[in-house]
Structure 1
Amino acid sequence: MATVELRFSALPEHVRTARLVAAAVARRAGVDEAVLDEVRLAVGEACSRAVGLHQSVGITAPVKVALIEEEKQFSIEVGDEAPHAVPGTSAGAAPDADVEADEDEMGLAVISGLVDDVEVSTGEHGGLIRMTWPTTPPAVALA
């Protein structure tokens, strides 16, 4: 299992770099060329979401991206350190909280539409989006 890790300041201008690196590593891992645009879009959406969450609560910690190459699959994990509401609590919701929640749900819906295998976990210490695509083994040249 090979892993490439990225950490970048929570600034929108770094999302493009994360998309480009993710697509390059996905290609090398054997993700089908036909879905590389979906990989780029999904990573861009997940990273933009993490950047927005960090900026909305003033977190200066970097956004974390792990690109994980496994035997028959390629996964990308995008992590944030923003506190997420734990179901059943509404501790001091800000006036714009509904708007932010709607944007967050829209971003997750876009990701779910692009990626067949997606897992989202959130808690009071941050969140993680794990997206997984199948890979095809490289063709073996016969001499």
Structure 2
Amino acid sequence: MATVELRFSAQPEHVRTARLVAAAVARRAGVDEAVLDEVRLAVGEACSRAVGLHRSHGLTAPVRVVLSEEEKTFSIEVGDEVPGSGGAAAGGAADEEADAEGEDEMGLAVISGLVDDMEVSSSEEGGVIRMSWPAAPPPAAS
């Protein structure tokens, strides 16, 4: 099982890099070429969501992306450090909270439309979106 871990500061301009890295690692893992756009879009949404949560809560901690190749599966975990962020965003004034909640729900809906196997979890340490796709490693060179 090969794993790549990426950490980046919660700045929107780093989301593009995360998308590019995810697509490259997914391709290497054997994810079908036709699915790579979905991988890019899903990672972009998940990373944008994490960046938004970090920024709205004033966190300076990096966003974490873990890309894992397993035998027949490629998975990506995008983690933030906002406690209880697996659901709607918490904190802020009532109007800001409602806006953040709506954006959060929309982002999760977009991701769930792109990924068949998705899991959202949260704890006191933060939230994680785990996504996975089928993969068939390329045949070994002879």
Structure 1 residues 14 and 86, CA, compared in 2 at 3 Å: closer, same or farther?
Answer: closer
Equivalent-residue separation in structure 2 for 1:128 and 1:73 (angstroms): 18
Larger Rg: 1
Query: What are the residue-to-residue correspondences of 1:29-44 with 2, within 5 Å?
Result: 29-44=29-44
Paired residue for 2:137? 137
Quick check: 2:86–2:128 contact (8 Å CA) kept in 1?
A: no
Structure 1 residues 64 and 86, CA, compared in 2 at 3 Å: closer, same or farther?
Answer: closer
For 2:41, the aligned partner's letter is: L
Quick check: 2:27–2:33 contact (8 Å CA) kept in 1?
A: yes
Q: Which runs of 5+ in 2 are unaligned?
A: none
Paired residue for 2:57? 57
Equivalent-residue separation in structure 2 for 1:35 and 1:12 (angstroms): 24
What's the TM-score, normalizing by structure 1?
A: 0.91
Quick check: 2:86–2:120 contact (8 Å CA) kept in 1?
A: no
- Structure 1 residue 93 displacement after superposition: 5.4
Tell me how large the CA RMSD over aligned residues is: 1.9
- Structure 1 residue 141 displacement after superposition: 6.2
1:69 aligns to 2:69 (yes or no)? yes
3-state DSSP of counterpart to 1:58: coil
Structure 1 runs (4+) greater than 3 angstroms displaced: 139-142
- Structure 1 residue 94 displacement after superposition: 2.1
Equivalent-residue separation in structure 1 for 2:126 and 2:83 (angstroms): 5
Q: Which runs of 5+ in 1 are unaligned?
A: none
Deviations 1:84-122 (A, max 9, x none): 2698xxx86522111101110000000000000000002
3-state DSSP of counterpart to 1:14: helix
Equivalent-residue separation in structure 2 for 1:80 and 1:86 (angstroms): 9
Query: What are the residue-to-residue correspondences of 1:93-104 with 2, within 5 Å?
Result: 94-95=93-94, 96-104=96-104
Structure 1 residues 85 and 139, CA, compared in 2 at 3 Å: closer, same or farther?
Answer: closer
Paired residue for 2:126? 126
- How many residues of Structure 1 are paired with residues of Structure 2 in the alignment? 139
Equivalent-residue separation in structure 2 for 1:84 and 1:122 (angstroms): 5
1:80 aligns to 2:75 (yes or no)? no
Identity %: 76
